Structure 1
Amino acid sequence: MLARKYDNYAWQEQPAEQYEAPQPVRRRRRKPDKMKLIRSGLFKILAVVMVAYFAMVLRSEAMVQCSNELVSLQKQEAQLINQNNELRIEVEQLKGPERIIGLAEQRLGMSVARSNIYVKAGEAAKSSNSLAAK
């Protein structure tokens, strides 16, 4: 009988204690604070602007240095061109026939024989000196 009672006990519907497993507590996602989002966006934009500004400053500094170097090189070029022109004039004066004749007369006591001088005519006169000795 005891077994029978137990058997009936198992088959009888009794209100069972409903055991509910505790559900994990779901945390609500907090909506991000709008001011925080705005601040972080502004910070990012400000950082990009500052990096671009510093890049432009460095680039402009490099350009100023290059332009100063260019100006100094142009001044040096002008000085060298003037010096070159002066040296060309001096070379032309030194290799002129009047100078050579003057040196020959003063230092060596030589004189130009006027009877041996002749003048070239035509194309030869334009390309070389007009005085030549036989």
Structure 2
Amino acid sequence: MQSTTEPMRTIQIQQAWQLQPGEQIGRHRIVAGLGEVSIQVNGRSVYAPFDGQIETTVENCLLFSSPDVPAYLFRLCGLRNPAIGTVVEGQTIGSADYLHFAALRRQPDGTWTMVEPARTLLERLLQ
């Protein structure tokens, strides 16, 4: 899932929860946490909700950004065969059994905070 030409993006999330995606509990990897919505997709495709950019993160998740919603980032975890780079609205960006989704809003101090995603946004992801 890592791109060899683009560095992985890290973001500072304002909320500080002890358990984060990517961490281990014994031999088990955490794949979702507080503030995320987990959706059973059953192997179906997930789609770009807007024209935008997809980057990898250190948690083996993806960050989706778009000039259509510049104050937001969307974190998507659990995708197989993800599209990395520039995508257009409606383009398949991967598939998943379970999609773990978080909507992040930029704060004035440059950190990000998790917010509840709009149902219409999730519908665009899942078409």
TM-score range, shorter chain: under 0.3
Larger relative contact order, structure 1 or 2 (CA cutoff 8 Å, min sep 6): 2
**Structure that is richer in helix per residue:** 1
**Structure that is richer in strand per residue:** 2
Bigger Cα Rg: 1
